[in-house]
Chains A and B, each alone.
Chain A
Amino acid sequence: MVVDRRADFEASLTRTAELRGDQAGGALQRASLLRDAVHRFLKNRAAVAGAIAFLIMVVFVTITPWLSPHDPYAIDFGKAYLRPSWDHPFGTDDFGRDLFIRTALGGRVSILIGFAATVAIMLVGILYGSLSGFAGGALDNGMMRFLDALYGLPYLPFAILTLAIFGTVNFWTMVVALTVASWFTTARVMRGQIITLKENDYVRAANALGARWYRILFRHLLPNTLGVILIFVFLELPGVILGEAFLSFIGLGISAPKASWGTLAQEGYSSYLAYPYIIIIPSLCIGWLILSAFFVADGLRDALDPRSQEA
C-alpha cells in the first residue's frame, strides 16, 4: 500500500513537471486524453489482472500446440482416460488423445470464433445503428421497430435456426450464426451514441460548411464513438464465446476430430462421474476467459468514460 501511494505521488510529480514544461513553452502533451485513459486503466487492479489473465490464456492457446510432443488427433486406446500427470497435464480422453494440446487447440477455435464473430457483430451493429440514428425520422423508426421484432426472438433458437439453414457447421457458419443472433445490442447502443453526438455544435458546423452526410458520419461522428466500441468488443466477446460453447455442447459445434472448448466439455459429459477432469478443464477455461474479458471491459469503461475524467 505504502509503496503504491509513493509511486502515485511520484507519478503526479512527474505530471506536474510536464505541465510546467508546457507553460514554459515546451511541447504540449499530444495525446493527453489517451494517456489519462491508460493511466486510469492501469490504476484499476481488477482490470489489469483481467488483462493479464486474458493474455495468459491467449499465450497458452497460441504456443502450446507448437511445444507439445503429442499429436492431438492420434488415437491410442491403450492410453485412454489417463488421469492428469506430468506427461499429460490435463489427462487424456476416451480415445487416448492428450487433453493439454486439445484444450489449447479448442481454445484457439473458441477464441478465434469469438473474435471473428465480435468483429462481425461490431461491423453490422455499428453500420445499422449509426445509419438509423443518423438518419432519424421515419427510417430510424422503421429500423428500430424491425430491431424490436428481432429482439423478441430468443437468442439461441435464432442461432440454431441459422446453422440449420446453412446445413453445415464450420468456422464461418458458426461466426455468421452467432452474429445473426447477437448484433442487436450493439446497434442500439451505437444509435444512442450517434443521436447524442449529432446534437453537438461541431456537427452543426460541419453541416453549415457544406460537408456531405457521409463525411459527417464517418469523419465526425464515428471516431468519437471509438471508446464505446472498444468497451463493447470486450463486452460482446464473452457472450459470443459462451454462445459458441453452448452450441457446441448441445452438439451443434465444430465437428470431430477438431474441437472447441464447448465440444471438449460435451465429450467429457458422458463420463463426468468417473473422469470429471475431462469436463471441468474446458469449462474452467471458458470461465477464465469470460471473467477476464468482463474485468477488462469494466476497466475500459471506467477509463474511457468522459464523466469520470475529473476523478
Chain B
Amino acid sequence: MSTNGAGAPLVSVEHLKVYFPIRSGIVLDRHVGDIKAVDNVSFDVYRGETLGLVGESGCGKSTVGRAILRLYDPTEGRIVFDGQDITELKESQMRPLRRRMQMIFQDPFASLNPRHSVGRIIGDPLRAHGLAKRGDLSKRVRELLQVVGLPPDAGSRFPHEFSGGQRQRIGLARSLALNPDFIVADEPVSALDVSIQAQIINLLERLQGEFDLTYLFIAHDLAVVRHISDRIAVMYLGSIVEISPAEELYENPLHPYTIALLSAVPIPDPEVEAKRETILLAGDLPSPANPPHACRFHTRCPYIQPTRCTTEVPALRKLSDGHVVACHWAEEIKAGRLRPKEREAVAEQPLLQPAEEPPPV
C-alpha cells in the first residue's frame, strides 16, 4: 500500500462543488439559494490506498462519495478517474466505467431489495451489464459468497433472513461482482455492532489485498478510520480542512477542528482519560446554505485569533510531507504557541437564516 504520492492517482477530485438548490414558491419554483453540501474540495486517491474521509454528520462527506460515482451531478469542478475526466460524461458513457467503481452503503437493511433473493442481488450487477450466462452466474454468485464468508446456500435466501453484519457482507459481495478497482465505502460499519464492525473492517482489508482495491472510506468514527486508512482527509462544512497520513494525523493534528475531534475520542484507559484535556466545541454546525465567510470554522474555533480568521479564506497549505492544513495559524499551533480558549458560540452576522433541511446526504 503506497502511503503518499507514489504513482498517478486513481481518482482525482479537483475543486469539486455540489450545491443542492433550495426552491420556493408553488407556481414559479424560484431558486432562492443553495445548500453548499460540498464547496471546493480537492484531493487525490492513489492506487491501492485507503483514503479515510471523516467529519461530522452533514459535512458533505457522503455527497463527495456519491458525486465521485456520479450519483449526483457536480455543480463545478472536475472528477478524474484513472486519467479520464468523468465530470461531463453522459449516463451511457458512464456505464462501462461503473464496472470499475462501486459503492458500499451504510444501512445494510435499506441497501438490499427485500423482494430479491441474495443470489439475485449479487448477480444483479452482472445481469445489468449483460456479463453472465445462467450457469456462469450461479457459479460466480457462489464464488462471491465464499469470498465474503457466507455459506454457498445463502444465495437462495432473502435479505430479511440475515443479520446486519451478514447483510453488509451481501452488499460487499454485490459491489465486488464486477471486479472494481475503486470502492466508495459510505460508513459501511456505522450501523453495525462493535464486535461485527471489526469483522467487516478486517474483511474489507483482506479483500483490498486480494483484489487490489482502492477505497474511499467515509466514516465519522475516528477509531475505525485510523485502523483502516493510509491517509485521512478531515471535512468540515463542505470543505476539507486537513489531509495527512493516518498516524501523523493522530499524533500531530494541526487544524483546530481535527484537534477538537481527536480530543473527543475516548481513550480506554481511565487514568489517561481523567488527565487529558478535551475540547468542547461551542455552538452547532452552521447551516451549509449560508456558511460563515472567511474561515468556515471561525464561529466555533477554540484557537481563533483577532486577525485573518474572520477576513481571509485559508487555503490548504503543505506543512510537512503529505500533510496539508487549511488554517492560517497551523505553524503556531504546531509549535505550541497557541492554546485553545473556552468561548461562547459566535453567531455569524447577519444571523443565520433557518434554512430548509438539507437533502439527506
B89-124 vs A: 1/0 string, CB under 8 Å? 000001100110111011100111111100000001
Contact of B160 with A by CB under 8 A: yes
Pairwise interchain contact A212-B102, C-beta atoms closer than 8 A: no
* Contact call B111/A208, Cβ cutoff below 8 A: no
Closest to B109 in A: A201
Contact residues in B for A207 (Cβ distance below 8 Å): 71
Count of A-B residue pairs with CB < 8 Å: 69
A215 CB within 8 Å of chain B: yes
B94 to chain A, nearest CB (A): 7
B174 close to chain A: CB less than 8 A: yes
- Which residue in A204, A220, A223 is a CB contact (below 8 Å) of B71? A204
| B158 and A205 within 8 A (CB) | no
Considering the complex, give the chain B residue whose CB is closest to the CB of A22: B161
Q: For the complex, what is the distance from the CA of A212 to the CA of B106, rounded to whole Å? A: 23
Residues from chain B with Cβ under 8 Å of A215 in the complex: 128
A224 to B101, CA, bound (A): 27
Among candidates A30, A220, A223, residue contacting B158 with C-beta atoms closer than 8 Å: A30
Contacts of A211 in B (CB 8 A): 124, 128
Query: Do B102 and A209 touch across chains, with their CB atoms under 8 A apart?
Result: yes
Find out whether the CB atom of B115 lies under 8 angstroms from the CB atom of A208: no
Q: How far is the CA of A208 from the CA of B112 in the complex (A)?
A: 13
| B157, CB-defined interface residue at 8 Å | yes
Q: Does B129 contact A (CB under 8 A)?
A: yes
Task: List CB contacts (< 8 Å) of B167-185 with chain A.
Answer: 171, 174-175, 177-178
The answer, among A28, A32, A201, for a CB contact under 8 Å with B105, is A201
- Chain B residues with Cβ under 8 A from A212's Cβ? 95, 128
Contact A209 B124 (CB under 8 A): yes
Which chain B residues lie closer than 8 Å to A206 at the CB level? 124, 128
Q: Is the CB of B111 within 8 A of A210?
A: no
A143 → chain B, closest Cβ, in Å? 16
- CB pair B69 A210 closer than 8 Å: no
User: For residue A200, which residue of chain B has the nearest CB?
Assistant: B110
Once A30-B158, A204-B105, A215-B128 are accepted as A-B contacts, the answer to whether A209 and B98 lie under 8 Å apart by CB is: yes
Q: Which residues of B contact A288 (CB under 8 A)?
A: none
Residues of A within 8 A of B (CB): 28, 30, 32-33, 199-202, 204-212, 215, 219-220, 223-224
Q: Which 8 A-B pairs have the closest CB atoms?
A: A210-B98, A201-B111, A211-B128, A201-B110, A209-B125, A202-B113, A208-B103, A201-B105
